[in-house]
Structure 1
Amino acid sequence: MSTPFGLDLGNSNSVIACARNRGIDIIVNEVSNRNTPSLTAFGPRNRFIGESAKNQQTSNLKNTVDNLKRILGMEINDPDFETEKKYFTCPLVENKEGGISAKVRFLGEQQEFTATQLVAMYINKIKDITVKETKANIVDICLSVPVWYTEKQRRAAADACRIAGLNPVRIVNEVTAAAVGYGVFKAGDLPEDEPKKVAFIDIGHSSYQVSIAAVKKGELKILGTGYDKHFGGRDFDYAIANHFAEQFVGKYKIDVRENPKAFYRVLTAAEKLKKVLSANSQAPFNIESVMNDVDVSSSMTREELEEYIQPLLERVHIPIETALKDAGLSVEDIDSIEVIGGCTRVPSLKNKLKEIFGKELSFTLNQDEAIARGNAFICATHSPTVRVRPFKFEDFNPYSVSYFWDKEEEDDDHLEVFPRGGVFPSTKIITLFRKGDFEVEARYTNPSELPSGTKPVVAKWELKGVVPSEGETSIATKIKLRNDPSGFYTIESAYTVEEKIVKELVEKEAKEGEDAEDDESEPEYREVKKLVKKADLEIITHSASLPDAVRQEFIEKENALVMEDKLVADTEERKNALEEYIYDLRGKLDDKYKDFASDSEKETLTALLTKTEDWLYDEGYDSTKAKYIAKYEELASKGNLIKGRYLQKEEEKKQAIRQKQEAKQAAFMAEKLAASRQAAKEEPKPEEADVDMD
């Protein structure tokens, strides 16, 4: 049985949630943290993902990839690429599909991995963490993505899940997932008739999203959305870091922006300072030996921070106004403002939001975990083995999509099927008259609505098997178009229909005073013309998803890398076990084991320990798993003889103690029994009474 699993793939940190124990649990990682750094890194022998990647990031910047979800599904010629590139410390290059790959040094050579592969590596690590923590089978996943993701980016997210060995039952918008969690877990506070109008605001590490929702018990509808793709915690961090970088040029005559490692350390310190200023009016800023052995120190007040981030604060109102316009509402119509995302802890940002809405903000949702909890619940609704309370939700379609075909007998050659502002999931059926096989293409209707650089074509389909009826030049074709729960545009089915004459039962009217069922006359039929299905059509899809062959290649590559990582981890474990055994046995030879080994045995074993230790720190420092095992067994074959004598003696001591305790217990019981018998003898006998039998 698969445990429903939800992942909030954050740009800086990710949160995992599972539906179990009659609720939603947040899964902790291998170091017991409730969130995991969204990083994938590469070393000389293996990969580092999550916490291990964070631990080596400073020393391995060029081979560490962060900001993973910003480049997922992005093309190299995307106008946003130049903006995103500055946030990466590893080289980004164009791959053969026109997308983005990270160029890293791995296993002693330069290698390239696509953004989809990098995200898949990270998701696979998250899956491994979840399996180890829950001891459950993990197959299905609900993954959340930004509301501004296009079809191509959503498809890339689904592909990453599949490469990681997971079935993406749903790709859901991040703020929608949080809203679902609100609707499910705050049901007691929701009305049953007129929906409550709630603004959900999520400001995370890299983006700012707003959704206006109508929520009532058991039901949710997203009415409008807005976003700013380049507004988040990292922008605040860069504003602080650049301020200090300029200050250090004058104060210390160093420019940390020229040294990636130095600037990364300044960025890390800037993030800490931002968090300190969320609770304090002033904070120090100190870094030892930041660059050229120079120690730097400074400080910042909350007022200064607000001044440096003022250009960002002046844009706060724009996504809110867009979302309200889509929803057809004003700020006065909003009943509650639910705020999530780590960046919303900045006081000046909270004050700005409060000023825009003219009312207090609500923080009833967990700012860091709300999205993951909503994801886990959504995944559970798709599980055949988990019972969840009924909850219906519809999302907001941010981009209008039209379907196009070659013009034949129709007046038009296209139709806007899924308009902006419509809800999804949604299904539409259209009828076309075709002479033979044909193609259908989905395109974004209004390119001006799209994020810059998005290609207008969504997908193409080839429909085969169209054969007009005898004597006809064309045939009616029914096509079922779908904007599915994950926001993908698909053709769910297609078939031809033909007009046939069929017999239809004529329903008789009952005479006055009679029942129609009592009428014993013969049933009457009439002939009518009806459209009936003739044949299903073959549908060949050309979408933004990876081709099956490429996806399979990535799956095999990922599986091979997992095995390689496991071998490296096992080898390191065997090496550590050998090192530990050397020190442990050497210490015990002069202590616990000194009376259980002869002088010659000690001499031989000590020499072998020294020889093995020298090998371990010389030619054996980077050896194989098999050699470490062989060296361990060589030592253990001699050391365990001495250990066995010691353990035997210890067991004899324990046995003697047990026998002594048993003898003492037996003596005690015998003494107690004797005392009991003695007491019984000394009890006075009752006097006999004469009984008269007469």
Structure 2
Amino acid sequence: MRVLARPHSLVLLFNSLLLAILLLATPPASASVIGIDYGADWFKVSIVKPGVPLDIVLNVESKRKTAAVVLIRDGVRQFSSDAVALSTRFPQDTYASLKNLLGKLYPDPLAAEYRKTFMNTMIEDPVRHTASFTHDDDHTYSVEELVGMQLAHAKAQAEAYGAEVVTGAVITVPPYFNQFERRAILDAAELANLRVLLLLNEETAVALNYAMARTFSGPQHHVFYDMGAASTVASLVKFHSIQVPSGKKNTTVLELEVIAVGSDPSLGGHTVDVRLQHLMAAQFAKGPGKDLGVDVFEDSRAMAKLLKEANRVKQILSANQETFASVEGLLLEKDFKMKITRATLEDIIKDLLPRVPGPVTTVLEEAGLKVADIDSLVLVGGGVRIPSIQAVLKDLVGESKLAQNVNGDEAAVLGAGFRAAGISKQFRVREIRIKDINELPVEVVYESEPKETGKARTFHTTLFTEKTVLGAKKLMNFKRESDFQFDLVYKTGDKSPILTATVSGLTAAMEKLKEQSAAPPKVKILIELSESGVISIGDAHVLFEVDQAGKNPSLKDTVLNFFGATKKDAEKPLFLQIEDGVNETKADDSKTKEGSASNETEAANSTASGDATKKLVVEKVKLNVTIAWKTVVPLSSEKKSDIKKAFATMDAADRLRRSHDEARNTLEAFVYSFKEFLYDDDVEIVATEADREAAKEKLDETSDWLYEDGDQAPADELQKRLKALQKLHAPIKRRRTELRGRPDAIAALEKSIATARVAPEAPLHSEKELNDALELVHNAEAWLLRTQAEQAALAATAEPVLRLADIADRQSAIEAEVGRLVARKRKPVPKKKPAAKPKTSATPSASQTTDPVKSDKPQATPPPAAETEGHAREEL
């Protein structure tokens, strides 16, 4: 019999499916995941690793948060407090509050405000038209690059803290971030080689942290109000239980559902800082700086110092009624000092207070709720610490509903870390379902098929509303017969275009299958709004109903038969069978929809009742979709590659700098300690004057070299000089240690010798064991007497012959031997069995009848001599 081979394509298909199943069955390797709360002023990192619960990462300064600042000078980067400390000296090289600039064009109002506040050089990118920075003649940095440096630093902190490679991260973003801003932070993470598991809205992360350790007896509504450094956001969240399938039965899990979001992107703590900065600058201009001839507002260093002081003053006035602002050498060696009261602070921000309740009012109106319907208003962020802002919110909802029962600084980062653990599938965490929403509605704009007469019509179809749940998929249906374009644009605001998609391959498919097509083709394109809130264009196909009568089965028919599909299944678009839960949207006007419906019905009828020789099947042809990003263009692949190479170079420079700094600091510290060491009284005893003078001369030479050439010297040169000093220092230190420790060491050895002379009991040890122990003691005693005499004959500056290590060795040997003998246990003495009672008879014996004295106690019998001796020894 002839064996028919399976088609090669089916074998490949089967192998691919088998490989996919095996990959899914392979358990993942253990690794750590992190959450990053990236803010305008600070960023915080949480970590989850096997065997370690959710924890906050401590930076190199053992702090729980890190300043979101990077300073670049001479090709070397500084982060965190190091960057902050140098920022007032080099404000033009310092980049802070970059979160406000992600995905922003140069003319954007927030970018314009940034240029007024900070003294670095912002320019307009000639290609992307975004905000960028000219650092020097050779370097221009995009915002994504600078943020990427900080994210890479955050990742490095987590890996150092957790001692494990980080494989993924959840990063928090404001819910009002649009496509451009979200793609910008994703690009920044890619530059940092940080795999993003999810972009999580900040207030959703806070709500998740709120729910982690709580139970809810019934549905509850809470508003999370977050005033950070850059913006203010309020999210109305509903907590309730739902039933979800779990095997053969359902289980109850908690669901976190975001109902509405309100925001004020320009209201935040940084606005307060800037107003305090300007208040102090104006006061300085009137006072100490009046006759300097220099405008303090135009001096970048002075304004940087005032902005730093303004933030400190704001924090103090949140808890105190008054404080003093003080900056030494603010401008031209003139100091500045000013008393600022809480009343003054409240006066300069009084025009901002009416904006404070806005986000809360927005979410209540959108949800159709009243203040009485919410369970609490949870306060988050540093801005809500200002008393006047708290007072406004208290008036809005009442004191009883104002809640501060979450850690406002760390709630978001802990929620992000918890979500990262849940996504990774490597950790067992409490299941909490999240239903977050899209805040910015998006629509599809396209033109109808060109006709011979008349002008093409433009159609607008809503794709995602402001209530669309993140993770939604839409399957768009287009009635087209030639290649076409469509746009995705924002439906509100300035209606910024997001992208233009060009669909090609349709014209060629029509030319090939037009004669066989029994009905107009259907173009289906999948558009997804991911759980990160990012829009992407998926697969695009055109479906034809064609007559295959008399033709050999197509490859698709063969595949369907292989998997047991029916003819009815074959007539369904395979694309729709794959995508579960996809909402299908027809991108046509009502007239076109009606025509489409009638055509589909006619085609179906013709298939059912037509000529028996006809065989209509659905042919699916894949189309090409080319994306052209609009408004804010993401970084190109080539640009990202160049930036990553530059990052690698800077990373190497950073490692060299850290190695140099560590070596320099170690050498400098050793120079100071060695100088102090030489003035010790005991050092004058154990070191000759020539030795001390040689050491002092070498120390002075090294100290001068450090301050002249040390900053530029390589690390190995610094380490070489350190070893040279250690070579001088070591013998002197060793002799001093011997001198100081010798009396106590001798006394300890003599005590051990005296203790060992009390011989253990002979019956427990052999004579040889006792003699060996006594010999060890005698030898140690003789050695001690001999070496003491030799040591006494030596000068204190000579190398000692009676060394602490030798004394300790002999003492340890004696104590070990004596301990071994003493620890030997005595064999237990067996208990004596009670004597058997004599048998008695009915008739007493003669002895019994003649015994004049009767006693109830048994008569004592003297033990044998050996037993008596042993008994006495046991008592002793």
Separation in structure 2 between the aligned mates of residue 650 and residue 438 of structure 1, nearest angstrom: 96
Instruction: Confirm or deny that 1:537 pairs with 2:561.
Output: no
Separation in structure 2 between the aligned mates of residue 67 and residue 623 of structure 1, nearest angstrom: 34
Measure how far apart 1:559 and its partner are.
Answer: 1.7
Partner residue of 2:129? 98
**Aligned residue pair count:** 651
Contact 1:196 1:215 in 2 (8 A): yes
Partner residue of 1:482? 528
1:245-284 alignment, distance < 5 Å: 245-252=281-288, 254=290, 256-284=296-324
Please state whether the residue corresponding to 2:352 is helix, strand or coil: helix
Instruction: Confirm or deny that 1:443 pairs with 2:489.
Output: yes
Measure how far apart 1:431 and its partner are.
Answer: 1.5
Instruction: Confirm or deny that 1:221 pairs with 2:257.
Output: yes
- After TM superposition, the structure 1 stretch with the greater mean CA deviation from structure 2, 245-254 or 647-656, is 647-656
Instruction: Confirm or deny that 1:417 pairs with 2:463.
Output: yes
Contact 2:56 2:414 in 1 (8 A): yes
Partner residue of 1:157? 185
Instruction: Say which of 392, 412, 425 aligns to 2:433.
Output: 392
Please state whether the residue corresponding to 1:423 is helix, strand or coil: coil
Instruction: Say which of 325, 330, 335 aligns to 2:365.
Output: 325
Which structure is larger by alpha-carbon Rg, 1 or 2? 2
Change (3 A) 1:638 1:112: same
Please state whether the residue corresponding to 2:193 is helix, strand or coil: coil
**Greater RCO between the two (CA within 8 Å, min separation 6)?**
1
Partner residue of 1:662? 813
Partner residue of 1:471? 515
Measure how far apart 1:561 and its partner are.
Answer: 0.8
Change (3 A) 1:542 1:139: farther
Contact 1:142 1:379 in 2 (8 A): yes
Instruction: Say which of 497, 503, 506 aligns to 1:457.
Output: 497
Partner residue of 1:18? 47
Please state whether the residue corresponding to 2:32 is helix, strand or coil: coil
Instruction: Confirm or deny that 1:563 pairs with 2:652.
Output: yes
Separation in structure 2 between the aligned mates of residue 289 and residue 216 of structure 1, nearest angstrom: 58
Partner residue of 1:520? none
Change (3 A) 1:610 1:253: closer
Partner residue of 1:572? 661
CA offsets 1:458-486 (integer angstroms, 9 cap, x no match): 12333344313341575212111111111
Separation in structure 1 between the aligned mates of residue 440 and residue 164 of structure 2, nearest angstrom: 39
- After TM superposition, the structure 1 stretch with the greater mean CA deviation from structure 2, 482-491 or 626-635, is 626-635
Partner residue of 1:32? 62
Change (3 A) 1:687 1:597: closer
Separation in structure 1 between the aligned mates of residue 211 and residue 708 of structure 2, nearest angstrom: 62
- After TM superposition, the structure 1 stretch with the greater mean CA deviation from structure 2, 410-419 or 397-406, is 410-419
Please state whether the residue corresponding to 1:434 is helix, strand or coil: coil
Please state whether the residue corresponding to 1:139 is helix, strand or coil: strand
Partner residue of 2:444? 403
Contact 1:326 1:421 in 2 (8 A): no
Contact 2:71 2:95 in 1 (8 A): yes
Instruction: Say which of 639, 651, 659 aligns to 1:550.
Output: 639
Separation in structure 2 between the aligned mates of residue 599 and residue 559 of structure 1, nearest angstrom: 52
Change (3 A) 1:669 1:167: closer
Separation in structure 1 between the aligned mates of residue 118 and residue 504 of structure 2, nearest angstrom: 46
Q: What is the identity, as a one-letter code, of the residue corresponding to 1:225?
A: V
Partner residue of 2:559? none
Contact 1:394 1:425 in 2 (8 A): no
Change (3 A) 1:285 1:52: closer
CA offsets 1:429-466 (integer angstroms, 9 cap, x no match): 12223334433321112334x6xxxxx11123333443
Contact 2:111 2:131 in 1 (8 A): no
Measure how far apart 1:11 and its partner are.
Answer: 0.7
Please state whether the residue corresponding to 2:621 is helix, strand or coil: strand
Q: What is the identity, as a one-letter code, of the residue corresponding to 1:185?
A: A
Q: What is the identity, as a one-letter code, of the residue corresponding to 1:537?
A: L
Q: What is the identity, as a one-letter code, of the residue corresponding to 2:154?
A: I
1:580-599 alignment, distance < 5 Å: 580-582=669-671
CA offsets 1:113-145 (integer angstroms, 9 cap, x no match): 111101001111111111111112112111112
Partner residue of 2:718? 628
Contact 2:445 2:458 in 1 (8 A): no
Q: Which protein is richer in strand relative to its size?
A: 1
Instruction: Confirm or deny that 1:170 pairs with 2:198.
Output: yes
- After TM superposition, the structure 1 stretch with the greater mean CA deviation from structure 2, 119-128 or 383-392, is 383-392
Contact 2:545 2:619 in 1 (8 A): no
- After TM superposition, the structure 1 stretch with the greater mean CA deviation from structure 2, 328-337 or 65-74, is 328-337
Q: What is the identity, as a one-letter code, of the residue corresponding to 1:99?
A: T
- After TM superposition, the structure 1 stretch with the greater mean CA deviation from structure 2, 378-387 or 58-67, is 378-387
Change (3 A) 1:233 1:687: closer
Separation in structure 1 between the aligned mates of residue 343 and residue 535 of structure 2, nearest angstrom: 48
Partner residue of 2:866? 685
Separation in structure 2 between the aligned mates of residue 403 and residue 440 of structure 1, nearest angstrom: 7
* TM-score where L is the length of structure 1: 0.84
Q: What is the identity, as a one-letter code, of the residue corresponding to 1:155?
A: R
Change (3 A) 1:626 1:683: farther
Separation in structure 1 between the aligned mates of residue 240 and residue 157 of structure 2, nearest angstrom: 35
Instruction: Confirm or deny that 1:69 pairs with 2:99.
Output: yes
Separation in structure 2 between the aligned mates of residue 146 and residue 279 of structure 1, nearest angstrom: 28
Instruction: Say which of 274, 278, 288 aligns to 1:238.
Output: 274
Change (3 A) 1:52 1:655: same
Separation in structure 1 between the aligned mates of residue 821 and residue 440 of structure 2, nearest angstrom: 91
Measure how far apart 1:422 and its partner are.
Answer: 2.4
Measure how far apart 1:34 and its partner are.
Answer: 1.0
Contact 1:65 1:102 in 2 (8 A): no
Instruction: Say which of 158, 164, 171 aligns to 1:143.
Output: 171
CA offsets 1:52-97 (integer angstroms, 9 cap, x no match): 1112122221211111101111111223322232221212111232
Please state whether the residue corresponding to 1:326 is helix, strand or coil: helix
Separation in structure 2 between the aligned mates of residue 651 and residue 15 of structure 1, nearest angstrom: 57
Contact 2:471 2:533 in 1 (8 A): yes
Measure how far apart 1:386 and its partner are.
Answer: 2.1
- After TM superposition, the structure 1 stretch with the greater mean CA deviation from structure 2, 80-89 or 207-216, is 80-89
Q: What is the identity, as a one-letter code, of the residue corresponding to 2:804?
A: K
Instruction: Confirm or deny that 1:494 pairs with 2:522.
Output: no
Partner residue of 1:48? 78
Contact 1:183 1:216 in 2 (8 A): no
Please state whether the residue corresponding to 2:426 is helix, strand or coil: coil
- After TM superposition, the structure 1 stretch with the greater mean CA deviation from structure 2, 332-341 or 400-409, is 400-409
Separation in structure 2 between the aligned mates of residue 178 and residue 459 of structure 1, nearest angstrom: 32
Measure how far apart 1:40 and its partner are.
Answer: 0.8
Measure how far apart 1:315 and its partner are.
Answer: 1.4
Separation in structure 1 between the aligned mates of residue 820 and residue 420 of structure 2, nearest angstrom: 64
Separation in structure 1 between the aligned mates of residue 813 and residue 373 of structure 2, nearest angstrom: 82
Partner residue of 1:197? 221
Give ranges in structure 1 of 5+ residues lacking alignment. 451-455, 506-525, 677-681, 689-694
Please state whether the residue corresponding to 1:86 is helix, strand or coil: helix
- After TM superposition, the structure 1 stretch with the greater mean CA deviation from structure 2, 639-648 or 577-586, is 639-648
Please state whether the residue corresponding to 1:74 is helix, strand or coil: coil
Separation in structure 2 between the aligned mates of residue 91 and residue 71 of structure 1, nearest angstrom: 14
Instruction: Confirm or deny that 1:383 pairs with 2:564.
Output: no
Please state whether the residue corresponding to 1:389 is helix, strand or coil: coil
Change (3 A) 1:486 1:668: closer
Separation in structure 2 between the aligned mates of residue 173 and residue 303 of structure 1, nearest angstrom: 35
Contact 1:209 1:225 in 2 (8 A): yes
Measure how far apart 1:215 and its partner are.
Answer: 1.8
Change (3 A) 1:91 1:433: same
Measure how far apart 1:609 and its partner are.
Answer: 5.1
Q: What is the identity, as a one-letter code, of the residue corresponding to 1:59?
A: R
Separation in structure 2 between the aligned mates of residue 672 and residue 545 of structure 1, nearest angstrom: 78
Contact 1:341 1:367 in 2 (8 A): yes
Partner residue of 2:375? 335
CA offsets 1:206-227 (integer angstroms, 9 cap, x no match): 2111111222242122222111
Contact 1:41 1:47 in 2 (8 A): yes
